[in-house]
């Protein structure tokens, strides 16, 4: 909410109108059209929150000017290094300026980079009124990192024909396919008996958890998958002999396989209840979001427009599936088609996160190109 208040002041300073900042943290603003002919109203959206998986408090970013290759010492005290040996893509940015962390927090480029790029693009348009553009809507959302960034987004109030989230990765990325996603909470009720007299009586909830995890396909894990391959991800486990909890996320681009994954977990729970006793394993599944491809394909011209804008910035579009989700997924199902544009960042959600300044500049150029081309 504090970041949102600062951004409201920034947006007002560059001449935005129709400003709103509601009690849920959503910001909306307008850049008025400077053309008389009818043009689409285009939205640009980014999210205010950063990943809860790694500390985003007291971030101390710094800029490595003219990166020369080799290791970057992030935290001298702990000898934390950002190294091309582990992150070979670093070498693609030799000679460029890299924004990095101090090795103790994430950077927060996901998605403060997107916010920055949208505001800078709008400021550029404000300073260059000779660039034609239609009405532009700006939206900043909370809670994207927990899959709820669009839950309270007022699509009718936003009133755009289509939009783009600026929330992607390396320069050139353009995405309109994402995972179907579900969150699963599994509660295992055990029976604790003194181990000396446990035979035939004890149900060790932790052992049941081990059994359950081992019954899932061993290669369907994030660290073993890529591209369109889905997975089961055990994100949290805790417990005792008496009771245990497991948290999974399920991801797959294909809806039928996605449904099959949910059914498989239900079947495993049923098998374990038969093996131990009824009620030992309870699994609750909550759908989070769905693949936006179904909603984007009927309006594929908005992908063509973005690809043209990227090429106009002397970058080759990299159209790939998102191995994750964005606010654009839910927004697309809420009636606002919203594919995803790159920010330029790498290694999101951790202390090895970095973003080249030059990639951010390209993202700004692409945003300007989109509205310019749409008005031409």
**pLDDT at position 325:** 78
> Where in the chain are the domains?
2-178+291-375, 180-289
Grade residue 148 by pLDDT with cuts at 50, 70 and 90: confident
Grade residue 151 by pLDDT with cuts at 50, 70 and 90: very high
Does residue 77 have a pLDDT over 90?
A: yes
Does residue 8 have a pLDDT over 90?
A: yes
Choose the weakest-confidence range: 94-98, 141-145, 154-158, 264-268: 141-145
One-character DSSP codes across 328-363 = HHHHHHTT----EE----BSTTSTT-EEEHHHHHHH
pLDDT single digits (tens) 162-215: 999 999 999 999 999 999 999 999 999 999 999 999 999 999 999 999 999 999
What is the average pLDDT score of the chain? Answer: 96
Grade residue 54 by pLDDT with cuts at 50, 70 and 90: confident
**pLDDT at position 146:** 85
**pLDDT at position 324:** 81
CATH of 2-178+291-375, one of 1.10.240.10, 3.40.630.10, 3.10.20.90, 3.40.50.1390: 3.40.630.10
Tell me the chain's radius of gyration from C-alpha atoms: 23
**pLDDT at position 147:** 80
pLDDT single digits (tens) 97-106: 999 999 999 9
Contacts of 241 (CB under 8 A, 6+ apart): 190, 192, 202, 204, 205, 206
With tokens 């805790």, the residue in question is 238
Sequence-ordered alpha helix ranges (H) in the chain: 2-13, 109-127, 155-158, 205-214, 255-275, 293-296, 301-312, 327-333, 357-375
Q: Which residues of 199-211 are buried (b: 16+ CB within 10 A; e: fewer)?
A: eeebbbbbebbeb
pLDDT single digits (tens) 268-296: 999 999 999 889 999 999 998 899 999 99
Does residue 7 have a pLDDT over 90?
A: yes
Same fold, 2-178+291-375 and 180-289: no
Does residue 160 have a pLDDT over 90?
A: yes
- Is-contact 354 107, C-beta < 8 A? yes
**pLDDT at position 326:** 82
- Is-contact 282 269, C-beta < 8 A? yes
- Is-contact 340 5, C-beta < 8 A? no
**pLDDT at position 121:** 98
**pLDDT (average), residues 119-134:** 98
Contacts of 237 (CB under 8 A, 6+ apart): 209, 244, 245, 246, 247
- 180-289: CATH number: 3.30.70.360
Grade residue 56 by pLDDT with cuts at 50, 70 and 90: confident
pLDDT single digits (tens) 291-315: 999 999 999 999 999 999 999 999 9
For the chain, give the percent of residues with pLDDT over 90: 94
Residues assigned a catalytic role: 49, 144
**pLDDT at position 366:** 98
**pLDDT (average), residues 8-29:** 96
pLDDT single digits (tens) 24-53: 999 999 999 999 999 999 999 999 999 998
Q: Find out whether the peptide bond into 111 is cis, omega within 30 degrees of 0.
A: yes
């Amino acid at each position: 909410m504090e970041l949102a208040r600062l951004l409201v002041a920034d947006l007002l300073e560059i001449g935005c109108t129709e400003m709103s900042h509601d009690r849920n943290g959503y910001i909306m603003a307008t850049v008025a059209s400077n053309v008389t002919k009818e043009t689409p109203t285009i939205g640009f959206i980014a999210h205010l929150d950063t990943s809860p998986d790694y500390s985003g408090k007291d971030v101390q970013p710094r800029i490595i000017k003219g990166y020369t290759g080799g290791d970057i010492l992030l935290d001298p005290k702990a000898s934390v290094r950002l190294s091309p040996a582990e992150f070979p893509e670093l070498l693609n940015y030799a000679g460029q300026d890299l924004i990095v962390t101090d090795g103790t927090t994430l950077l927060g480029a996901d998605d403060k980079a997107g916010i920055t790029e949208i505001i800078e693009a709008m400021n550029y348009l404000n300073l260059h009124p000779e660039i034609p553009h239609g009405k532009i809507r700006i939206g900043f959302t909370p809670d994207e990192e927990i899959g709820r960034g669009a839950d309270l987004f007022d699509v009718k109030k936003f009133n755009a024909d289509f939009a783009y989230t600026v929330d992607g990765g390396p320069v050139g990325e353009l995405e309109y396919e994402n995972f179907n996603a579900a969150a699963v909470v599994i509660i295992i009720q055990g029976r604790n008996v003194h181990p000396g007299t446990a035979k035939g009586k004890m149900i060790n909830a932790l052992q049941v958890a081990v059994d359950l995890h081992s019954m899932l396909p061993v290669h369907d894990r994030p660290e073993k998958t890529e591209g369109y391959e889905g997975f089961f991800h055990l994100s949290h486990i805790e417990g005792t002999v008496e009771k245990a909890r497991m948290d999974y996320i399920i991801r797959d681009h294909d809806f039928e396989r996605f449904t099959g994954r949910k059914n498989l977990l239900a079947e495993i729970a049923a098998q374990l209840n038969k093996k131990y006793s009824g009620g030992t394993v309870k699994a609750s599944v909550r759908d989070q979001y769905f693949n936006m491809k179904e909603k984007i394909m009927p309006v594929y011209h908005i992908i063509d427009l973005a690809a043209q804008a990227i090429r106009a910035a002397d970058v080759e579009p990299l159209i790939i599936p998102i191995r994750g989700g964005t606010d654009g997924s839910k927004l697309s199902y809420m009636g606002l088609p919203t594919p995803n544009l790159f920010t330029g960042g790498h290694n999101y959600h951790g202390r090895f996160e970095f973003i080249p300044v030059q990639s951010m500049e390209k993202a700004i150029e692409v945003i300007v190109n989109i509205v310019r081309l749409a008005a031409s």
